[in-house]
Homo-oligomer: A and B are copies of this chain.
Amino acid sequence: MQQIENFKSIIDKYKVVFFDAFGVLKNYNGILPGIEKTFEYLEATGKEYYIVTNDASRSPAQLAESYHKSGLSIIKAERIISSGMLTKEYLDLQVRDGIVAYLGTTKSAHYIESSGLHTLPVSEINESNIDKVNALVFLDDEGFDWARDLNKAVNLIRKRTIPVIVANTDRAYPLTISDVSIAIGGIAAMIESVVGKQFIRFGKPDSQMFMFAYDMAREQLRVNKTDIVMVGDTLNTDILGGNKFGLDTVLVLSGNTLAKDVSTRITATGIAPTYICESAVIEGSDF
């Protein structure tokens, strides 16, 4: 098995660090104790960082605010790249007018609204407005009645040839130490198989997430891919995606991948990180 390395000594080799959020910076208990040290170190050493997250439930500003409330006040909204931002960019570029139907909370929908576009929950689509619907977006697993609105979504997609966007590819997310919750990506996959059409997915491991962050990093700094390391807790999103995009990767054992399983999982999937660390926390003594 690969040996477990010291996180600080790894990031010392890079100019830019991309972090996954859930399982790396926070978990169901809140912010990882000590993680603020890591960001202090990054700022002190002049390294750039971005948080690259499959989260379309809130805007970067709202996500940053939730970090601040949890005591991680250093993280600014402009450092957060979410699959929701890719969804918004897609709608801006490809859907010029009409209604964007959505499954998710009102909060998530507010964020993707653009000039010329009007968002409407799937529950409010009816015979009088269905012909104006020009896109359907799967945003969040909350904020709607699954039985009623998933059936409505199926029939909407059958009747209208429109782009269907999945703003978060995750199939499940951890809820407590023992329980998970079905994510909107899992729900969207069911609907896709029922209707037999091809949806558009945004989120890791897809390269578009990394490209978005890479473009932002290049606006700040003259860097290329060898200067960047991706830190994540999940082999088939963070590590596979970062690796495919050409980045070195750090698998941390503070989330989805447990220390006892890491060797088996790497062999079984064939997805190998460049490094493995206990977590992204830099110990005080390291600093």
Contact = CB atoms under 8 A, between A and B. Distances in A.
A154 B178 CA distance: 12
A245 B145 CA distance: 31
| Closest 8 pairs between A and B when the two form their complex, measured CB to CB | A197-B270, A190-B190, A146-B146, A93-B246, A207-B208, A146-B147, A186-B194, A155-B179
A3 interface: no
A266 B161 contact: yes
Interface of A: 89-90, 93-94, 141, 145-147, 150-151, 154-155, 157-159, 161-164, 171-172, 178-182, 186-187, 189-191, 193-200, 206-208, 211, 225-226, 236, 240, 243-247, 264, 266-272
A164 B207 contact: no
A149 to B, nearest CB: 10
A62 B244 CA distance: 26
21 contacts: A90-B244, A93-B226, A141-B147, A145-B147, A150-B182, A154-B172, A158-B180, A159-B178, A161-B267, A171-B194, A172-B194, A182-B190, A186-B190, A196-B268, A197-B269, A197-B271, A198-B270, A200-B240, A200-B244, A207-B207, A208-B211
A108 to B, nearest CB: 16
Nearest to A249: B94
> Is the contact region of chain A dominated by helix, strand, or loop, or is it mixed?
helix
A236 B264 CA distance: 20
- Residue among A182, A193, A226, A243 with the highest chain B CB neighbour number at 10 A: A182
